[in-house]
């Protein structure tokens, strides 16, 4: 089956759009995971400083 050039171009554009969409989705997931991890580490560190740090009463 012979594909026209237009169909080929459309297929390429769709593939590029799809990969870009997946990249964005993965990036959003990574950012959310990083912020969650950072919050967890920050709260643990703050708790540690308050309990056993130089400011503990």
pLDDT at position 1 over 70: no
What is the H or E stretch that residue 27 is in? helix 5-52
Count other Cβ atoms within 10 Å, centred on residue 49. Answer: 12
Which residue did the predictor score with more confidence, 7 or 52? 7
pLDDT band at 2 (very low <50, low <70, confident <90, very high): low
DSSP structure class, residue 4: P
**Each residue of 8-42: pLDDT tens digit?**
999 999 999 998 888 888 888 888 888 889 999 98
pLDDT at 46: 86
The pTM (predicted TM-score) of the whole model is 0.43
Q: Which residues of 18-35 are buried (b: 16+ CB within 10 A; e: fewer)?
A: eeeeeeeeeeeeeeeeee
């Amino acid at each position: 089956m012979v594909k026209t050039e237009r169909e080929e171009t459309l297929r390429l554009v769709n593939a590029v759009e799809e990969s870009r969409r997946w990249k964005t989705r993965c990036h959003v997931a990574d950012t959310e995971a990083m912020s969650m991890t950072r919050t967890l580490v920050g709260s643990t560190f703050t708790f540690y400083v308050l309990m056993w740090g130089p400011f503990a009463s």
